[in-house]
Amino acid sequence: IRVNNNSSSSSSSNNNNNNNNNTDYNDIYIYNSNNNTNNSSSKKKKLMGCIESKRNTNTNTNNTTTNTNNIEEENQEDIIDIPTRSPTTTTTTTTTNNTTTNTTTTTETMTDATDEKMTGVVATGEVDEKLYSRQLYVMGHEAQRRMMASSALLFGVSGLGAEVAKNCILAGISTMTLCDPAIPTAFDLGGNFYLKESDINVNDDDNGTSASASRAELSLPQLAELNQYVSVSTVSKETVPSLTPDHQTAILNQITASIAVVIITIPLDASLIQAMNDKCRSVGACFIYSLTTGVFSQVFCDFGTEFIVSDTDGEQPHASQVEMITCDSPAAVKVLEDHGRHGLETGDYVTFSKIKGLEKKDGGDDNGGDSKDSNDIGLDPSIEYEVKATGPYTFELPSVDLSAFAIPATQGYITQVKKPKILSFQSYAEALASPKELMMSDFAKFDRPPVLHLLYKGLHQYMQSHDGNLPSVGSGEDAAALLEIVKSLDTGTDKVITEDNATKVSALVAQFASGSQAILSPMCAAMGGIVGQEVLKACSGKFTPIQGFFYFDAVETLPDELLPMDELNITASDNDNMTRYTSQISVFGKTLQTKIMNQNKFLVGAGAIGCEMLKNWALMGVGCGPEGKIHITDMDRIEKSNLSRQFLFRTKHINHFKSTCAAEAAKEMNDDIKIIAYQEKVGGETEHIFGDDFYDKLNGVCTALDNVEARLYVDQKCLFYRLPMLESGTLGTKGNTQVVVPHLTENYGATRDPPEKSIPVCTLKNFPNQIQHTLQWARDYFEGVFRQNAEDVNSYLGTSSENFAQSLAGQQNTKIDTLTSIQNTLVEDRPRSFEDCVQWARMLFEDLFSNQILQLLHNFPEDQVTSSGTKFWSGSKRCPKALCFDIGSKCEDAEMRNHFDFIVAAANLRASMYGIKGRTDEEYFVNVLKDIIVPDFAARDGVKIAANEAEAAKESSDSHMEEDVDVEATRILESLPKPSELAGFKLNPIEFDKDIDDHMLFVTACSNLRALNYQIPTEDTHRSRAIAGKIIPAIATTTALVTGLVCLELYKIVGTPRKELAVEDYKNGFINLAIPFMTLSEPTAPAKTKAVIKGKEWNWTAWDSLDISKGDITLAELMDHFEKEYNLEIQMLSQGVSILYSFFANKKKVEERKKMPMSKIIESITKKEFPPNQLFIIFELIANDFGREGGDSTCQVSISINRIHSVSFCRSLASN
């Protein structure tokens, strides 16, 4: 089926037979599940993760398939006009032999009233950019469309299966079919967030058979709610009664050519897994098999012998600017060094655009001017040139001969071309017998993957000999049996088990066997993120899949020896005594479970990471005990773009507070959870809420934030109160986790990234050379014209002229600009109708993109030469050209009508600011614009334009003499109407919002027009939104993975049973699911500083302190304490901005204060009482060693005012 989104009529055979060549079809091919399965001559090819079907001409007409749309078959392919439709939510699929019947319940009707239901897979090429906004910056539109045309078949909906299904549905694949007839057990409650304890009670019907619903049926309703565009269905228990070899035929019948990928997430018989893998290969479907067994897990991928990856890493193509292209053979290229390395490798391909230079030796210029067309200068922009890297800033073009040219190129743009890659995979049987290189996750355990490979092979053999059952919890007998199997499988010359590691492997097998039945939420979340991304790779062809096996474990969370049975107390057959925490108890024991439930945690942020974290905590039981509680805060409200990755939210929650909705959703998963939701920002202004008494009751803090500033604030709080902190973040497919443990690891703020480079002002104003420059300029202009001008006018109207003049007194450099903008906005350019707004927009276009450019060229002509003899317009300075307004003009790169878009967007924003009704119909604008007379440009002499940053700084400081500014300001103020004359008049300031299309239309058009001025490649609205809005790419898979890793660290922080953890037992994580890459490493220990206290050397860290157990002591007692205990004489003591004591202060006042408690001294100075929730006062203290001149020490002192003991934090005692 090839999808047409422009059709407004229902699909019919007439449309297929009489296609209009002008119809815009999306290049999406879907294999129709109703095709004749007996047609062995049909050819199927896996292309970019999708299935393309081209039928052979010798189709058996005697065995036909009836389609409800009566679509006639063509010899080569069916082309069907399909109008955009709203998706189904629930489908029950029943398969008998080779006939498939779909019964669908649709929640919303299709957009075309005459449309009929269609069988098979139907996808629309329209991408909902509002919903998938952040994900599109990860996957891209083309990959998203491929996903929307792909179907997945999932076997197993326990914990891991639920995670995979959730992530894939959120991502927006076409259909997800669940096949799992098994009835849930208590172990499933540890990972499946849609199962409840009541679901595991097995009831028999009158016939004595089980009447309980299956895991798939119980999970279906809520999974279907996640994404309205995804059809979610189940395979009935009548069709597939069980996932065992007894029903292998029925299972294999579900794997058809309409399926893009098959996923298995539960333990199955090894022969059945192999048969399913073989069937996938025969129909061209990708195959993924993954398991979690306690704190161990595996992933296996087989995408066939020729899987095409369109983009191996998802990174933006490397882009550079030309400094010079030599006239040699081969041509040599040097890039501008101040823009960074070119990042290319030998064998890469690049394209060139906007090249300037390369004139021929005969003096002729084939370009007919200064803007060189690459076709005429030897570098065709449509040709991809192979690269030979010769240095970080240089490379050669082996196939290019430019020796016919005399003058080298001096400017231009270079863009890397990313090439598809074909990958070949081993089948499951081949990889099981002789795997290729196993993917690593922790280089500290470099020898672990081969051992785990052997363990999982042994596990399958164990299951075969034990009626499909896994080893029992805590059973030494079962562990011994598994160990014997593992040893028997370790054959060949390169043995995995050696004398050196035999004891270690034996212990590992015991831990593996004991927890093999356990389904832990953190492990399911982590592996669900990895497997979910592999599914998306299979559907889209984007990013590099895992080739073969990947193994992961978190044995650091386990005790060194198995826990006694009274700690585990698990009987697999006794469902009545089992709870949601059965899996967790079977691994970590009752004691740790009690500690987890009594945790008091503060979760800062309720976005994507916050939602995933709350889900994990609800399943783990965090805050569910009598002493436990979770505090969560987020000041943001839910937007539509959140729904594709913040899975606790639904459409009905839009505009509601995130923290409240997330808390309610967590409560639905686990009714025992105690959670308090706040809508407050965590910062200095909310310390009356999140103060000393708040942090004093916590066991730890978990951050789910989107900015560094907030993280650093929370980090300082954790450092002060000595609280563990769990930190994580994502950037598209990349993610990181950091565990902060008091005294054991460094704090989050101990190491920081370098600050972002700012764009020089003169570059933004006059010399842009990248689209980032023009977008920043356009956004700044938006803020100035549509927000700042309106706010200035409202400020002027809201007070008297005299008071407003006084408010401008401290703005000497900007006073004239502010008043001029008020005069223009309020008087000279004030519109009375929308037609006035259109005229203003047209004049603005002329000023920004023609007149200002002509003035710049008047000051700096194209042939300008600097004092050193070099061309002024060279290097990163691109010579601009003025634009001539053309309403029908369309830019070459982004293919946007920037001239028209700018007028429409600017006029409507202007109208909105003044409360005038706008309009967007093109005919109206054409009629108005043709009558507008635009004055001719006249260059002005004496206009100063800074050529570099130094001149810009000097110009800013010397812009106006103070007396001239005041005189001109008074003149403008006197010319303005009095505020009383405009009573009731007010403008509507418009604050830029990247998610509002009208705002982005202006910024994109404005940026592109400026880019056209300077011959910079333009960008479309989607890409411009990412740059201007500084959007952080995000996808649910990465979020699930990082939160899973964080929660594994939570087990360690709460306390691994009977084990003292060292720093190497904790793990920080760094991942990139696109490559794929994952590495765990031990955290960095805190930096130590040497000091001498009481004559003894002390190596202290940021976590250390000096304790004072004297309560709210007086100033004299504090000074005596420092003198006696540390031989320090306090020279100065301050709190905030108030000096409480200094050696040079009035002696009488000092003596009075020495007798007062520290809290009273502060109250007497600040005239404020302490908040009731404040337990500590922080002082800054400077002290000298007694008997030694100089050598001042500065430290921070915190004294308790509401408790018996107090703490003095000394941060800078190194000089002692």
Task: Label residue 1140 exposed, middle or buried (CB < 10 Å: 0-12, 13-18, 19+).
Answer: buried
Cα-based torsion angle of the residue sequence 779, 780, 785, 787 in order, rounded to the nearest 10 degrees? 80
Can you read off the two tokens belonging to residue 425? 């995979």
Give the span between the Cα atoms of 1025 and 1033, in whole angstroms. Answer: 12
Q: Which helix (H) or strand (E) holds 394?
A: strand 394-397
Question: Which stretches of 557-706 are assigned E, i.e. beta strand?
Answer: 600-604, 629-633, 675-678, 700-703
**Helices 215-224 and 159-171, interaxial angle, to 10°?**
30
Element counts in the chain: helices (H) and strands (E): 36, 38
Contact 729, 738 (CB under 8 A): no
Whether 1195 sits among the annotated catalytic residues: the reply is no
Give the span between the Cα atoms of 411 and 873, in whole angstroms. Answer: 10
**Helices 1036-1055 and 159-171, interaxial angle, to 10°?**
140
Tell me, letter by letter, the H, E, C secondary structure of 1103-1132: CCCEEECCCCCEHHHHHHHHHHHHCEEEEE
Give the span between the Cα atoms of 525 and 1069, in whole angstroms. Answer: 15
**CA terminus-to-terminus distance, the chain:** 79
**Helices 658-669 and 608-620, interaxial angle, to 10°?**
30
Backbone CA torsion sign across 292, 296, 302, 308: positive
Contact 375, 355 (CB under 8 A): no
Least Cα distance to 1170 among 494, 548, 688 occurs for 688
Give the span between the Cα atoms of 325 and 304, in whole angstroms. Answer: 43
Give the span between the Cα atoms of 83 and 63, in whole angstroms. Answer: 29
Angle at 483 between CA 478 and CA 486, to 5 degrees: 130
Q: What are the helix (H) ranges across 847-975? A: 852-859, 898-914, 922-929, 949-957, 962-975
Angle at 895 between CA 894 and CA 900, to 5 degrees: 110
Contact 908, 840 (CB under 8 A): no
Least Cα distance to 300 among 554, 531, 536 occurs for 531
Give the span between the Cα atoms of 508 and 558, in whole angstroms. Answer: 10
Give the span between the Cα atoms of 905 and 896, in whole angstroms. Answer: 13
Contact 49, 422 (CB under 8 A): no
Can you read off the two tokens belonging to residue 1062? 């060292």
Give the span between the Cα atoms of 375 and 382, in whole angstroms. Answer: 9
Mapping DSSP to helix (H, G, I), strand (E, B) and coil, where does residue 598 land? coil
Residue at 654: amino acid letter: I
Cα separations in angstroms, 446 against 443, 452, 585? 5, 12, 29
Query: Other CB atoms closer than 10 Å to residue 31's CB: what's the count?
Result: 24
Can you read off the two tokens belonging to residue 649? 């939210």
Options 168, 624, 762, 837, the catalytic residue: 762
Contact 851, 968 (CB under 8 A): no
Contact 887, 924 (CB under 8 A): no
Cis peptide bond N-terminal to 1076, omega within 30: yes
Cα-based torsion angle of the residue sequence 446, 447, 449, 454 in order, rounded to the nearest 10 degrees? 180
Contact 1047, 712 (CB under 8 A): no
Residues forming the active site? 762
